Amino acid sequence: MSPLAQTLLDALHALLEFAPPLVLAALGGVLSEKSGVVNIGLEGMMRFGAFFAAAVAIGTGNPWLGLVAGALAGATSAALHALLSLRYRADQVVSGIALNLVAMSLVTFLLEAIFGSAGVSPPSPQLPRIFGHSALTWLAVVLPLAMHWIFTRTALGLRIRAVGEHPRAAATAGVSVLKLRALCVIGSGALAGLGGATLSIGILGQFDVRMPAGQGFMALAAMIFGKWTPLGAAAACVFFALAEVVQRSLSLTFHAADLHLEGLFLALPYALTLLLLALSRGRTRAPAADGVPYDPEGR
Amino acid sequence: MASSTWRQSLFAPARAPLWSALFAILCALTICFIAILATGKDAVNGYADLLQGALGGARPLGESALKGSVLVLTGLSVTVAFTVGLFNIGAEGQFIWGALAAAVVGNALPLPAFLAIPAALGAAALAGGLWALIPAWLKTARGVHEVISTILLNWVAIDLVNGWLVSGPLSVATGSADVSVAGTAAIRDEAFLPRLFAQSGSRLDLGLPIALAIAALVWLFLTRTRRGFEWRCVGAGPDAARAQGIPNARCIAEAMFLSGALAGVAGALIILGTEHRYPGVFRTGYGFDGIAVALVGGVTAPGAVLAGFFFGALRAGSTRLQLVGIHPSFAELIQGLAVLLVAAPRIFAPLLARLRGRASVSATAGVGASSEVGGAT
Amino acid sequence: MSESTQSALELRGIVKRFGGVAAVEDVSLAVAPGEVLALIGENGAGKSTLIQIACGLYRSDAGEVRMNGALLPAGEPSAAIAAGLGVVYQHFMLVGPLTVWENVVLGREPRRRGVGAALGLVDRDRARGEVADCAKRAGLAIDVDAPAESLSVAAQQRVEIIKQLWRGARVLILDEPTAVLSSSEADELLRTVRGLAAEGRGVIFISHKLREVLRVADRVAVLRRGRLVMTAQATETTAEALAEAVLGAAARSAEGKAVLGVAPTRAATTDARAPSPGAAAELIGRPPNLLQEADTKSAPRLVARDLVCTDNRGRPALRGLNLELRAGEILGIAGVDGNGQTELAEVLTGLRNCAGALLLDGEDGLAPHGWARDPALARARGVVHLPADRHRLALCGLLSLEENLSLGHQREEPWAHGMFIDRAGRRARANELLAAFDVRPADPLARAGDLSGGNQQKLVAARELSDLRARLVIAVQPSRGLDFHATSRVHSALTAARDAGAAVLVVSLDLDELRALADRIAVLYEGRVAGLCAPDASDAVLGPLMLGNTSAAATIAQTGAQQGRAQTEASRG
């Protein structure tokens, strides 16, 4: 194999490592915000997913049960977000931020309580690899297309779009706004939880206390950059992952660690994301009712 | 009917948020108590240690006030950004730049104490403020939501400062990898914040009066001046404010600068008061905690002072928890839960209504209540 | 209607309270198949609440709703829809980015057969076909593939009606359907309504406008303060009798009748005069440049030349607009919604960029730092604004009344003292203004967002029109959503501003309002002034102008002025 082809293949492999957690979380973001609920809590939901996937996989020895636990943990925390922001009409941004704070500390607390560690969990059983990558990776490849298809072709997709744009209109047409929104938020949490599980039992093979290290927020940025569409968000995630791959290889080439330049390279993907957001003027395409609490008896 | 979502309470001249905050904190403490019991540890002794570590004597009190002062400032930072309707998640990044600026200026300028301290504080304010202008500009000129931009800027600040500047160019021991954890060179003695009760062993320093004075000034500015009113208008209704001739972008830039400056000064208090250099490992989380302080404090300046000192005491006390084998992140858990609960004040609405009903029979329940309790904001 | 006919929709003993205040008090109503029942009353009389209860959006505190005799479960909109109740709301319930057919089938999407059904696939071809058929049968022209947000207001209303028909509505409730339509569009709608009734549907028609109610309805029911105060056959009552029922004692004032459009307005007064050949010239749509010669006697306060601007979506809104406005006059701007009215108001108040020339007392507003470049500068030159979208543009709902009153004046005495807010001065001035404009509650600490629509508008008027230095007043839809008392208060404030020497521009979709207020009426069509008319111009003159047909208007005015007036008389009933 020629050196160039080998480099490209390596890059593709690296891409398939880095992109899936982002893609899954970003799709979660799309699902929630399309229905009109802002989900800043993706980061926390990923963290819960990553931890519980690892913990259950270690406890039962079965990575598939870990996978289910990761999705369930994400969905459960999302249900809390749904309860606060839909039932109690809390400010959705605040509720999401609060969820992140709780996820940050509660998981640290549980890591200490269960595994007696402040850094990493013991190694967990990993998901089997298909063509060199876990099933979650391939799920992340297929899911954007599936979600695009749901939004454009199915009755459910039509209703989700309607509820996110003009909930009262949907309500008068007989759509149950709060139920549908709750469903979307919980689904969003399950996806973010799967994204977290990808980090712990899909890639690293253990839980690290720093997980997901801002990936939930990157996923949010990808969602905005992708104009709240599944395909756009996935494309943005691939781009961010590519930036990460390039950053790492550059960092290695320039011996950044020896020169104390690591931080410079680490900051690069975040700065790049900001630059792209600044250039893309994202706000204009957000669903019209995104973040607006729905009051069934309001006027 | 007025739907009192959380954001509305921001502009409400009502005392209701205080009650919600109190309930939220009590609930959070209870939930955590049960969580400790569930992990099979001694919750009663744990809470006793917590109390001891926070309030038991001059030294613990000093630690609580010390941490509280910093939290008051980061809480005010988030509060100030809120008045123009921006959610500044970036206090952490602004805090870091402020801390670095204070460390550099405190080391570089050979000045007497009465100049060295203001110079270092001023540099910190400037550094934090300038960093906060980036999300302000991104918001007003490019339409980028500030929550996203400030979060990303936090990571940029953490990586640039901790991962590069402090371990590289500004490191006291350049070259050798081992000593790079030492951080920057120590600041001059003149720039040390004087300790107030040094003989009692308390580390409490000038940071406390500084934080309180700043809080009072911020309160005065936000509630009593024309410009403060204009900021509030921008936060309450940006389109209406613009239509009445209030320059939105300028108000947002000013408020974000002040917000960043407050976080920067908070960072400086840590450097000038206790660290005396920018350490190689410096992850305090004071900036993030500012969000909790502001929210639990009902996003008012007096609320930030109360919540800041409460969480400061919690932080100081939680170091003692390790004695009974409970991770100090436990304090953050209480904080997180409290924010989660204040986020949805409606949870407590039935309870509040009952309390109010008992307090005064004449009070008309529910609807008119919010306008009744009007007073000073 | 005969006693034996079973009611299509029946409401019995409905009671609804909001926080202890009764919005609807023991109301019973029924509509038979094939019948048009008009429901009239002031704002806050309980019409909307009643509708929300009928269609299941609100739960009533007492009473029941029956469709064809069967009891409907409370609080379940889907049950009401299933039973054949369709509502066309005043604020359309359309999802902007979705296409017409998607909007129509939303919530009851036809599914594909077989595997597709299990996956929830929408049968797009069937859905599109059914919607197109339904529109055709009702005689309503519509492009089923257009996004709803791209349609005109009248077309959106047609979509709403198609939506209900496609769902098999046997009873249609139309909530103030003509409020947003031009007079010709309204005529079209009234014909559609009669057609729907002729097919055996029951129709409840809610309106403020007594004349059109008498034209379209079989029976009229009047609500006042949540109670049913009158029902009558349309043929057996008069506009005056209805006005008295709507307003109670207030109807005896001439002003009240003028607001409702039943009493002789200026148009009618002029009609009484013998028409002279010169009168025709008063009515015709003159090219704006001719006006200049006629008005050289006083220098214009505002001159607009060749104004060009785009709307929020970047489409042309003003396309070379010319306008002149003198101090001490009220110029009414008529036109079908969406012909540049909003943009004109925003340009004049510094909220929107434009090209052309704009002079206020000779001062160039479009120079690099001209007054029309910045709302703050416009305000400083004495331009005040009562915007149509007062929730968004005029008030901070979360702030108190006194804070809202100081908004825009916050740097001046008595609101401020130096760099500080003058709290005592502000409180005193706020109390004064709240009393003068009769804002209720007159509590300076109440939140603006908690006020009713009428009181919010009075609050805005109190702030904007109390400014004695006002040179140019821009009022857009000043009485939209307001009841009689609030309307008359706002109208008198506008005329007072005029009498104090301000130039006043009133934009309204309601021709009766313009006739009652304006000294001249300019008709806007596609971003230009299509014609200028005297305030007594008839619908026959204004109507064609509003549709851009200047020659037809001129013909009517010149050759058939008398005929036109006769038509007006006829349409007035």
**DSSP codes, B225-270:** BHHHHHHHHHHH-HHHHHHTT--HHHHHHHHHHHHHHHHHHHHHHH
pLDDT of residue C20: 64
Q: Are C360 and C501 in the same domain?
A: yes
pLDDT at B3: 35
Indicate the SS3 state at residue C489. Answer: helix
What does the alpha-carbon distance between residue C155 and residue C175 come to, in Å, rounded to a whole number?
16
Q: Average pLDDT of chain B?
A: 81
| CA distance to partner chain C, nearest, from residue B340 (Å) | 23
Considering CB atoms only, which of B2, B226, B364 is closest to C420? B226
Q: Which chain A residues are within 8 Å of B180, Cβ to Cβ?
A: 260
Tell me the backbone φ, ψ of residue B270, rounded to 5 degrees. -65, -45
Q: Is the same domain home to C294 and C349?
A: yes
In a domain, B8, yes or no: no
Q: Are B252 and B80 in contact (CB under 8 A)?
A: no
Q: Are B84 and B247 in contact (CB under 8 A)?
A: no
From chain B, pick out residues whose CB is under 8 angstroms from the CB of A227. none
Assess if residue B136 is contained within a domain.
yes
Q: Which of C163, C7, C6, C16 is nearest to C75 (CA)?
A: C16
The model's pLDDT over C64-80, given as tens digits with 9 standing for 90+, comes to 888 888 888 887 777 88
Strand partners, C171: C85, C202
The residue out of C262, C292, C308 marking a domain boundary is C262
Residues C238 and C374 in one domain: no
Per-residue pLDDT at C37:
92
Q: Is the same domain home to C367 and C484? A: yes
Angstrom distance (rounded) from CA A16 to CA A130: 12
* A27 min Cα distance to partner chain C (Å): 20
Q: Do A171 and A296 form a contact (C-beta atoms < 8 A)? A: yes
Which domain CATH number covers B211?
1.10.3470
Cβ contact (<8 Å) for C398 and B243?
no
CA-nearest of C351, C357, C356, C444 to C405 is C444
- pLDDT above 70 (res C290): no
Residue B285 CA: distances (Å) to CA of A166, B48, B63, B261, B288: 39, 25, 16, 17, 5
Mean pLDDT of all residues in B15-27: 76
Confidence of residue A187 (pLDDT cuts 50, 70, 90): very high
- The dihedral sign for the CA sequence A16, A19, A24, A27: negative
Mean pLDDT, chain A, rounded, equals 85
The beta-carbon neighbor of B335 closest among A101, A108, A283 is A101
Asked if residue A76 lies in contact with residue B335, where contact means CB atoms within 8 angstroms, the answer is no
| Distance in angstroms (rounded) separating the CA atoms of residues C445 and B12 | 10
Q: Are residues C201 and C347 part of one domain?
A: no
Count of other CB atoms within 10 angstroms of residue A296? 14
Question: What pLDDT does residue C569 have?
Answer: 46
Characterize the bridge pairing of strands C472-476 and C503-507.
Answer: parallel
A-B interface: how many C-beta pairs under 8 angstroms?
166
CA distance B118 to chain A (A): 30
- Whether A296 and C106 lie within 8 Å, measured CB to CB: no
Residue C250 predicted with pLDDT over 60: no
- C480-501 confidence digits (pLDDT tens): 777 777 788 888 889 988 888 8
Q: Which of C168, C190, C212 is the last residue of a domain?
A: C168
In 3D space, the residue among C217, C178, C216, C224 whose CA is nearest the CA of residue C50 turns out to be: C224
Q: Tell me if C461 is assigned to some domain.
A: no
Q: Which of C215, C241, C262 is the last residue of a domain?
A: C262
Query: CA nearest A86: which of A27, A25, A36?
Result: A36
Question: CB–CB of B152 and A220 under 8 A?
Answer: no
Query: In the predicted model, is pLDDT for residue C289 greater than 50?
Result: no
Q: What is the ipTM of this complex?
A: 0.82
* Long-range contacts, stretch C433-438, CB < 8 angstroms, 24+ apart: C433/C405, C433/C462, C433/C463, C433/C466, C434/C401, C434/C405, C434/C459, C434/C462, C436/C462, C436/C466, C437/C461, C437/C462, C437/C466, C437/C489, C437/C493, C438/C489
A257 pLDDT band, cuts 50/70/90, is: low
Instruction: Please give the Cα distance from B286 to B92 (Å, whole number).
Output: 7
φ, ψ of residue C28 to 5 degrees: the values are -125, 130
Contacts of C92 in chain A (CB under 8 A): 169
CB contact under 8 A, A90 and B145: no
* CA–CA separation, A197 and A69 (whole Å): 9
Q: What is the average per-residue pLDDT within B111-126?
A: 89
User: Which residues in chain B have their CB less than 8 angstroms from residue C387's CB?
Assistant: 243
The order of strands in the sheet holding C520-525 is C383-386, C472-476, C503-507, C330-334, C520-525, C528-533
Q: Which residues in chain B are closer than 8 Å to A293, comparing Cβ atoms? A: 3, 5
Residue C446 to residue B371, Cβ atoms within 8 A: yes
Reference A63, options A189, A216, A207; nearest CA is A207
* Tens-digit pLDDT profile for residues B221-267: 988 898 999 998 898 888 888 888 888 899 999 999 999 999 999 99
Give residue B173's region: left, alpha or beta (phi > 0; psi -120 to 50).
Answer: beta
Q: Are C121 and A288 within 8 A, CB to CB?
A: no
pLDDT digits 0-9 by tens, B72-91: 999 999 999 988 988 898 99
Question: How would residue B12 be classed by pLDDT, with cut points 50, 70 and 90?
Answer: very low
Give pLDDT, residue B122. Answer: 94
What's residue A30's pLDDT?
93
Poorest-confidence range of C162-176, C182-196, C534-548?
C534-548
| Encoded tokens for B319 | 């170091």
In terms of domains, do C73 and C155 share one?
Answer: no
- Chain B residues with CB under 8 Å of A103 CB are 336
Summarize pLDDT for C511-569 with one digit per residue, the tens.
Answer: 888 888 899 999 888 888 888 888 888 777 777 777 776 665 555 555 444 444 444 44
In whole angstroms, what is the distance from residue B67 CA to residue B270 CA? 9
Does some domain include residue B10?
A: no
The runs of H, that is alpha helices, within C466-538 are 484-499, 511-517
Of A154, A159, A172, the CB nearest to C93: A172
- Cβ neighbour number for residue C168 with a 10 Å cutoff: 13
Q: What is the pLDDT of residue C297?
A: 52
Mean pLDDT value across residues B11-24: 65
How many beta carbons lie within 10 A of that of residue C458, not counting itself? 25
Residues 6+ apart with CB under 8 A from C390: C456, C457, C460
Quick one: which H or E segment has residue C474?
Answer: strand C472-476
Q: Residues C111-133: pLDDT tens digits? A: 888 777 777 888 888 888 888 88
B215 vs B301: CA distance, rounded Å: 6
Cβ distance C420 to B224 less than 8 Å, yes or no, reads: yes
Question: 3-state DSSP call for residue C523?
Answer: strand
Distance (Å, rounded) from C-alpha B233 to C-alpha A298?
24
d(CA A77, CA A64): 20
Average pLDDT over residues C39-43: 79
Which residues form the domain of B296? Answer: 17-356
B374: three-class secondary structure by DSSP:
coil
Measured distance CA(B9)–CA(C199) in Å, rounded? 52
Tokens 């009473």, residue located: C63
Query: Does residue C563 share a domain with residue C474?
Result: yes
What's the rounded Cα separation, in Å, for the pair B78 and C133? 57
Residue C218 and residue C283 in one domain = no
Least confident among B268-272, C34-38, C126-130: C126-130
User: C297 lies in which domain range?
Assistant: 269-394+469-572
CATH match of A3-285 with 1.10.3470: yes
The reported pLDDT for the residue numbered A120 is 84
Instruction: Give C66 or C151, the one with higher predicted confidence.
Output: C66
Nearest CA in chain A to B289: A101
pLDDT at site C395: 87
C36 occurs within a structural domain: yes
> Which SS3 state, helix, strand or coil, does residue C263 take?
coil
pLDDT grade, residue C387 (50/70/90)?
Answer: confident
Query: B169 to chain A nearest CA, in Å?
Result: 8
Q: Are C215 and C193 in contact (CB under 8 A)?
A: no
Q: Which residues contact B354 (CB under 8 A, 6 or more apart)?
A: none
* Number of other CB atoms surrounding residue B360 within 10 Å: 9
User: Chain C closest CA to A159's CA: distance in Å?
Assistant: 7
CA gap A93, B252 in Å, rounded: 19
Q: Identify the helix (H) or strand (E) that includes residue C386.
A: strand C383-386
**Which of C78, C92, C119 is facing A174, going by the closest CB pair?**
C78
H or E, element range at C307: strand C302-310
Tokens of B166: 């402090």
In angstroms, rounded to a whole number, what is the distance separating the alpha carbons of residues A252 and A248?
Answer: 6
Residue B367 lies in a domain: no
The vertex-A158 CA angle with A152 and A161, nearest 5°, equals 100
**Global pTM?**
0.81
- Give the model confidence (pLDDT) of A30-88 as tens digits: 999 999 898 989 999 999 999 999 999 998 988 899 999 999 999 999 999 998 888 88
Contact B288 A101 (CB under 8 A): yes
Is residue B173 pLDDT above 80, yes or no? no
- Give tens-digit pLDDT for A206-217: 898 888 888 898
pLDDT of residue B146: 86
Least confident range from A145-154, B20-29, C279-288: namely C279-288
Looking at the structure of chain B, the number of domains it has is 1
On the question of pLDDT at A272 being above 70, the answer is yes
Residue A174 and residue C95: Cβ atoms within 8 Å? no
> Which two structure tokens, joined as six digits, stand for C315?
């489409």
Q: pLDDT value at position B181?
A: 59
Residue B232, min C-alpha distance to chain C (Å): 9
- Residues C411 and C413: their CA atoms lie apart, in Å, by 7
Q: How many CA atoms lie within 13 A of C452 on its CB side?
A: 16
Sheet of strand C363-364, all strands in order from the earlier edge strand to the far edge: C316-325, C302-310, C355-360, C363-364
CA R_g for chain B: 21
| Chain A nearest CA to B142, separation (Å) | 5
Contacts B155 to A, Cβ<8 Å = 214, 267, 270
For residue B203, what are its two tokens?
């580390």
Q: Are residues C561 and C474 part of one domain?
A: yes
Confidence of residue B201 (pLDDT cuts 50, 70, 90): confident
* Same domain membership, residue C387 and residue C297: yes
Sheet of C62-67, strand order = C21-31, C9-18, C62-67, C70-71
Q: From the candidates A86, A99, A266, which should be mutated to test the interface with B, based on the most B CB atoms within 10 A? A: A266
Task: Give tens-digit pLDDT for C302-331.
Answer: 999 999 998 876 778 888 899 889 888 999
| DSSP string across chain A | --HHHHHHHHHHHHHHHHHHHHHHHHHHHHHHHHTT---TTHHHHHHHHHHHHHHHHHHHS-HHHHHHHHHHHHHHHHHHHHIIIIIS---HHHHHHHHHHHHHHHHHHHHHHHH--SSBPPP-PPPPEETTEEHHHHHHHHHHHHHHHHHHHBHHHHHHHHHHH-HHHHHHTT--HHHHHHHHHHHHHHHHHHHHHIIIIIIISS-BTTTTTTHHHHHHHHHHHTTT-HHHHHHHHHHHHHHHHHHHHHHHHTTTTTTT-HHHHHHHHHHHHHHHHHHHTGGGGS-TTTT----TT--
Distance of CA A120 to the CA centre of its chain: 21
* Cα within 13 Å of Cα(B282), Cβ side: 36
Question: H helices of C152-265, where?
Answer: 153-166, 183-198, 210-216, 239-247, 254-260
Q: Which chain B residues have a beta carbon less than 8 Å from that of C385?
A: 243
Domain parsing of chain A, residue ranges: 3-285
Q: How far is A212 from chain C (nearest CA, A)?
A: 34
